[in-house]
Each structure stands twice: as C-alpha cells, then as structure tokens.
Amino acid sequence: MNFDFSDDAKALGEQAKKLFADKAGTAPARKAMASGAPDFDAGLWAEIANLGWTAARVPEAHGGLGMSAEESCQLAEAAGAALAVVPLVSTLLATEALLIAGTEAQQAKYFPGIADGSLIAVPAWNEPGAVTPATVATTASGHTLTGSKAPVPDLPGAHLAIVAAAGPDGPSLWIVDLNDALVEPVETLDLVRRHGRLTLANTPAEPLGDPAAYQAWLDRAAVILAYEAIGTASAAMDMTVEYAKTRIAFGQTIGRYQGVKHKCADMFIKIELARAHALHGVAMIGSDGAELRQAAAAARVASLDALSFTAEETVQLHGGIGFTWESDCQFYYRRARALTASLAARGWWADRLVRALELRNRAAA
C-alpha cells in the first residue's frame, strides 16, 4: 500500500514551507494588513515564479513542469500555513480549470504566461446573494457575461478571471480578460488577503468547457482548498501549542491543564481526519469519477471543520490577549472565514457528499 505523497511532492512541500517561513507568516501578514495596499506581495510572487511553483501543473508542452496534483496540494498547504499574500492557490485552481476544460488553443494561449508568473489567473466563483454553485446569477449570452462576482480572492492585480456563469445547460466556466471588466477592491473580514469585485456587463468571455467540466473543477478545487485550510489550521495549532508550553498560570504552564491539553488534542484529531480525507481526494484526482466527488466533498467538509474549530480555540486558549489587535490569533480566525467563503459553504459540500454516497449505493445495488 502506498497511500502517501510521492517523495518529489514532499520535497517540494518542504521547499515551499522553508521559503514561506523566511518570506511570509504572521509578520508580513501584519504589514499587509497595515498597508492596505490593494495588491499582493510582488517580490515574493517573482520568487515563487522563479522557483517554478506557478508552472507546477502546467504541461511541459506549454512551458510548465507537468507535475501531478500532489504538488499543487503541497504548495497549497504551505501557502495556507504561511498566510502568504500571493495569488498562488488561485493560480493553482485556475490551472486546474484550464487543464480540465481548456481547448488546445486556450491552453497554448494562457499556460505559458501562467507558468512564468506574468499572467495571473484567478477563479471568480462567489457572487452577491448566492451561496451555492447551483444558483449562479451571472448569466452568459452568446460570448458575453453579465453579473457581479464578489468577494473574489486575489482579484486586484490579476489579469484573467475564470468565471462561473449560468448558460442554457447550467452553470459552467468562462474566461474573462480583466482589461475588459471593472475590478474594484472589496473589504473583507480577512484583512490580509486581497479580494475584489468583478462587474460584468455584456463583457466579452470565452467558454471554458461544459457544465460537467465545471462540476469536475469544483471537485479538484475542493481538494486543493482542503490542503490550504489544513495548512492554516496546522499553523494555528502549532502556535497555540507553543503558547501553551510557555504561558504560566496558577504556577504552571497552561499546557499542563487538561482543559487546554484536550482542546489541543482535539485540534490534532480533526486536522488528522481532514488530512486522511484530503489525501484520498488527491489520490482520486485524475480518476474524476464518483470516488473523487465523494472524497473531495469529504475533504472540504473535514478541513473546514478542522479549521473553524482550531481557529476558534486558538483565540480561546490564548486568553485575553488572543482577541486583541496585537495578537496573531486574529489572522487565523479571520482566514478561517475567508477559506469557508472561498468555494461554497460547508453545508452545501456536506449535502454533495451524501449525494455522492447515495449515487454509489444505487450503483452498487
């Protein structure tokens, strides 16, 4: 049995963790929060592109490295842990959309720029008033889109949006050149990662695959985002455990109290369960079958549960300081909301999981 990441993927993950440990983390996050600058960290982005991370999944024929989905997941986890102010995860998600649904011409047109980091493509999924992928209000008419997408992670500074919009056969993905559309910054609870609003009014767009491809993309996106959430949750847990080892109350470190210890153990348990489901998801990417749908939805639900529990208890276990502006706890607490909002809420994914289980039961019957 070989239910684990490949050595190559693990090595890339280690490399990413190391770079982010030097260049990202809570101190740069605090700077980003204070600056209010609408853009991401361009210096770090250039470094990431140089290391080939933006090219990870891009096919070699289009200037990429042609790596497996495992590499994307390792990068997403490292980015999530570091709260990195770069559109790396968005880029990885957009890459999956082009891989699944892009025509040869579309791939040839967009992949080289994505691979070298000069073309920033982000998925634009959320829209005001809609909470599920089934109720997309943005509409496609001919090769134009009309509607509004917000909050869109990493939109300010991006060049291309992969937009979910409803056509006659249901919602599917479209490519929008952001030179043709109105992009404005949107304030969110996150404060660190940049978000934007995309306004589309008969805006030119290229179709990117059919509704089935959109559903397949949702599955892959769920797995990658699960790793981002697991990374963020693990970083919050690590910070909390370190704090519990040093903070003294009633004459002993608080990590000695079972009330504290058991919450840390529960963080670990929830994160490990999420890891198991997320790994199942990675293993099934490429199969794109019923098992991926099931594994991806489970990974999404389990990772959100782990993240929200960990983020909330991180503040709690830090005590009074934990909910101050000076404490780093807020970054994880806020990011937990951002990641929950990044691709349909937990309840929708839980329902999608049960639907997948029902389908498999019917198939087995």
For binding to other proteins (CB under 8 A), which residues are involved? 1-6, 70, 241, 244-245, 252-253, 255-256, 258, 260-262, 264-266, 268-269, 272-277, 279-280, 282-283, 297-298, 301-302, 305, 347, 350-351, 353-354, 357-358, 361
Identify which of residues 165 and 301 has a Cβ nearer to other proteins in the complex. 301
Q: How far is the CB of 347 from other proteins (least distance, A)?
A: 7
Q: How far is the CB of 140 from other proteins (least distance, A)?
A: 30
Residue 167 host element (H or E): strand 160-167
Q: How far is the CB of 234 from other proteins (least distance, A)?
A: 11
Q: Which candidate, 265, 38, 262, places its Cα nearest to that of 156?
A: 38
Distance CA 76, CA 70 (A): 10
Instruction: Give 72-132 as a DSSP string.
Output: HHHHHHHHHHHT-SSSHHHHHHHHHHHHHH--HHHHHHHHHHHHHTSS-EEEE--BTTB-S
Identify which of residues 87 and 255 has a Cβ nearer to other proteins in the complex. 255
Identify which of residues 3 and 325 has a Cβ nearer to other proteins in the complex. 3
Q: How far is the CB of 349 from other proteins (least distance, A)?
A: 8
Q: How far is the CB of 354 from other proteins (least distance, A)?
A: 5
Q: How far is the CB of 2 from other proteins (least distance, A)?
A: 6
Identify which of residues 84 and 282 has a Cβ nearer to other proteins in the complex. 282
Identify which of residues 4 and 180 has a Cβ nearer to other proteins in the complex. 4
Distance CA 301, CA 156 (A): 28
Cβ neighbours of residue 167 closer than 8 Å, sequence gap 6 or more: 139, 140, 207, 211
Question: Which residue's entry shows tokens 């210096």?
Answer: 43
* Beta carbons of 90 and 153 less than 8 angstroms apart: yes
Identify which of residues 109 and 247 has a Cβ nearer to other proteins in the complex. 247
